[in-house]
């Protein structure tokens, strides 16, 4: 994990997720919703999150799931 986050950016806890009653996962970046996962994608995500050993690992999983969503001047 140390080699993955060399600049300690995941310490900011920038990603959060919510699960709706329909098992839809909403992932947010600093409070702004950026991705919605449904069905198998949501199930796979929740399995990975439940296996994560700490909060930093969860942040890394969410960062990977969201991909490179931020390009240019987006806020």
pLDDT tens figures, 31-71: 999 999 999 999 999 999 999 998 888 988 998 898 865 55
**Per-residue pLDDT, 73:** 45
The pTM of the full predicted model, rounded to 2 decimals, is: 0.76
Strand partners, 18: 26
Say yes or no to pLDDT of 4 above 70: no
Say yes or no to pLDDT of 5 above 70: no
**Per-residue pLDDT, 71:** 54
| Greater pLDDT, 11 or 75 | 11
Say how many CA atoms lie within 13 Å of 10 toward its Cβ: 17
Q: How far is CA 39 from the centre of its chain?
A: 17
């Amino acid at each position: 994990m140390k080699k993955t986050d060399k600049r300690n950016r995941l310490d900011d806890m920038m990603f959060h997720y919510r699960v709706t009653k329909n098992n839809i996962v909403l992932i947010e970046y600093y409070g702004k919703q950026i991705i919605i996962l449904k069905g198998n994608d949501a199930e796979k995500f929740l399995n990975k999150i439940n296996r994560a050993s700490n909060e930093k690992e969860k942040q890394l999983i969410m960062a990977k799931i969201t991909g490179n969503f931020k390009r240019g001047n987006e806020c």
